[in-house]
Amino acid sequence: LAIELLVACQGIEFLRPLRTTTPLEKVYELVRSVVKPWIKDRFMSPDIEAVHRLIIDQK
């Protein structure tokens, strides 16, 4: 689920400046509060773990 959220947020990045629904923007902002957008390749494990913690903590 963490990977799905990360990929969805990255997809939203590709469509900017368009906006999605208010509830999805809130989820996007929550995920982006712990993981920055991918601009270049990087090791993804820390990002996956950070979003996994958001899910586990039920934020």
Q: Which helix (H) or strand (E) holds 48?
A: helix 45-56
Alpha carbon distance 1, 15 (integer Å): 22
**Which pLDDT does position 59 carry in this prediction?**
66
**Which pLDDT does position 58 carry in this prediction?**
82
Domain layout of the chain by residue ranges: 2-56
pLDDT tens track for 8-48: 999 999 999 999 999 999 999 999 999 999 999 999 999 99
pTM of the model: 0.86
